[in-house]
Amino acid sequence: MANPSLLILPGDGIGPEVMAEVRKIIDWFGNRRGLAFDVSEDLVGGAAYDAHGTPLSDATMARAQEVDAVLLGAVGGPKYDSLDFSVKPERGLLRLRKEMDLYANLRPAQCFDALADFSSLKREVVAGLDIMIVRELTSGIYFGEPRGIHTEGNERVGINTQRYTESEIARVARSAFELARKRSNKVCSMEKANVMESGILWREVVQEVHDREYPDVELSHMYADAGAMQLTRWPRQFDVIVTDNLFGDLLSDLAAMLTGSLGMLPSASLGAPMANGRPKALYEPVHGSAPDIAGKALANPIACILSFAMALRYSFDLGDEADRLEAAVQTVLAQGLRTADLMGPEGGSPVSTTAMGDAIVAALDASAA
């Protein structure tokens, strides 16, 4: 059988630097665990714009549809701020999500014990935190029509539309319930049913899917604003949170910050199963392109490395190998290794991006010895 295929899209800013470390990890699994991947690499975001005048070429899009999983670094940067909206780096990422129909975005927010003191919240509030935000990713106000800016009378009007169909809500709800069954069996759904019709429908459909297919899972509903408050007040009350595209964008940034380690958080964006049974999938770190530190060997490669761990788990059914990689990350943190983003106020000497990658490879070596 052919090796599983991976398309790597390093993108912009720190994307290429962190991806170089992921490639060491991929090579390690090939050499040491006999898990060879067919890896190809291509451009996305500003890098693709510079080369082709588009943030995602049709050829790259087609390749993304063919492979078993896509691994993306980050897109965007100040250099591209003045570009027309239609060719901004972010449009490349949004096109991938939409055309691959990656409707379920899994964003774990996990507080690593070694880093609990970095949270802006007290240690006792965040220690042991392990929640999973499931964000709807291909619909809602990000993609709804009508949209645009037009002129009415003597002023301009900006329009976006929040739109959800029942089936769009139901499928992401199923993803959340399935995940909950493998975790603490608890889902909290967040919307604004008090002010938005799409929120009323969201709440009804999530409840229906629950009652019909997942009555064993504990389900609660919360308005998204109250959800933001509860996430900051007492985040450990949550296990899986399911929410729409825009609320999920906000709440996942909030949740990421609780952990004190934005540079550590991975994500998976999953769609329907392909012919080979694997879900359409794209994996990317939650952090962005961080142009301010790009090229300085300061970036933390852990979020991107843990995104590859998610690929092992969700695309390739290699949960044990994902556990092995996650344990190697825990090992280097326990050893006290820190990239610059993980330096507390008391300071210390940070390790470079490549040194962190090398240390994780060494920890993997030790685990396989």
Active-site residues, by number, are: 142, 192, 225, 249, 253
- Chain residue whose CB lies nearest ligand IPM: 90
Of 27 and 253, which has the nearer Cβ to Mg ion?
Answer: 253
- How far apart are alpha carbons 192 and 293 in whole angstroms? 37
Q: Binding partner of residue 90 among Mg ion, ligand IPM, none, CB under 5 to 8 Å per kind? A: ligand IPM
Of 95 and 192, which has the nearer Cβ to ligand IPM?
Answer: 95
> Using the rule CB under 5 A, is 249 a contact of Mg ion?
yes
What's the token pair of residue 40?
């190809």
Residue type, 53: G
> Using the rule CB under 6 A, is 14 a contact of ligand IPM?
no
Of 253 and 358, which has the nearer Cβ to Mg ion?
Answer: 253
> Using the rule CB under 6 A, is 249 a contact of ligand IPM?
yes
Q: How far is the CB of 31 from ligand IPM (least distance, A)?
A: 32
> Using the rule CB under 6 A, is 90 a contact of ligand IPM?
yes
Q: Are 131 and 238 in contact (CB under 8 A)?
A: yes
CA within 13 Å, CB half, 134: 27
List phi, psi (to 5°) of 16. Answer: -60, -35
Beta bridge mates, 267: 284
Of 289 and 333, which has the nearer Cβ to ligand IPM?
Answer: 289
Element at 249 (helix H, strand E): helix 245-258
Q: Are 276 and 256 in contact (CB under 8 A)?
A: no
Tell me the number of residues near ligand IPM by CB under 6 A: 4
Find how far residue 100's CA is from the centre of its chain: 15
Q: Binding partner of residue 93 among ligand IPM, Mg ion, none, CB under 5 to 8 Å per kind? A: ligand IPM
Element at 55 (helix H, strand E): none
Sort 236 into a burial class: Cβ within 10 Å, 0-12 / 13-18 / 19+: middle
* Range in contact with ligand IPM (rule: CB under 6 A) among 3-11, 88-96, 258-266, 306-314: 88-96
Of 42 and 249, which has the nearer Cβ to Mg ion?
Answer: 249
> Using the rule CB under 6 A, is 93 a contact of ligand IPM?
yes
Beta bridge mates, 133: 107, 241
Name the site residues for Mg ion (rule: CB under 5 A). 249
Name the site residues for ligand IPM (rule: CB under 6 A). 90, 93-94, 249
